[in-house]
Structure 1
Amino acid sequence: MRRRIRGKFHHNCFKPCGMPGHNLEYINLSRDEIEAIRLADYNEMYQEDAAKEMEISRPTFSRILNNARKKIASALLEGKAIEIENF
């Protein structure tokens, strides 16, 4: 499914400080997920407006956003690295 991704992402991986990357479990965020985070959390857009920006339905946007937030929370709380796919 084609979606509009406008964000420019300058980093493709984030990891806990002081931990070698080869010792970490990685969480993968899709481009859709990082775009949803950018629109909803960074740009503080309402989900309906953000969904229109991505050219998807609001329920689909909500599912993508919830998945992204769960992955980020897991990485922060469990000391995992975050990698953005198709960078």
Structure 2
Amino acid sequence: MARPKCPRVVSGTPVSHYFKPAGVPLRELREVGMPVDHFEAIRLADLEGLSQVEAARRMGVSRQTFGRILRQARTITARALVRGEALRIDSQETS
């Protein structure tokens, strides 16, 4: 039986919940979802430039968990950019 997930602190909310290639209707695009905690990890590490230790402290998770979340978030972002998919930021955790 898996351990229950610890609640994660998310203080930055996305201004927009969809990002897509210009000039292509959303209905014609494949979508990739990103949980809001993954969005928060990218915000803390890449936008604010925090160390993984400090970012993990702010999110209320271990450094190892933060590193895993950040790695997954970067993979989701890269997939959307490289494949020309729409990126949807979910309002609740889904992973």
Fold agreement, TM-score > 0.5 = yes
Query: What is the 5 A alignment of 1:11-50?
Result: 11-50=16-55
| Paired amino acid for 2:25 | P
Could you state the TM-score of these two structures normalised by the residue count of structure 2?
0.88
- Unpaired stretches in structure 1, ≥5 consecutive residues: none
Percent identical across equivalent pairs? 40
Could you say which residue in structure 1 is the equivalent of 2:66? Answer: 61
2:80 is aligned with 1:85: no
CA apart distance, 1:34: 0.1
CA apart distance, 1:10: 1.1
- Which has a greater percent of helix? 1
CA apart distance, 1:8: 2.6
| Paired amino acid for 2:80 | A
Could you state the TM-score of these two structures normalised by the residue count of structure 1?
0.96
- Unpaired stretches in structure 2, ≥5 consecutive residues: 1-5
CA apart distance, 1:86: 1.3
CA apart distance, 1:9: 1.5
| Paired amino acid for 2:59 | M
Q: Deviations over 1:8-32 (max 9, x none)?
A: 3210000000011011111111011
| Paired amino acid for 1:78 | R
Matched residues, number: 87
Q: Which runs of 4+ in 1 moved over 3 A?
A: none
Taking the aligned partners of 2:13 and 2:27, their CA distance within structure 1 comes to 27
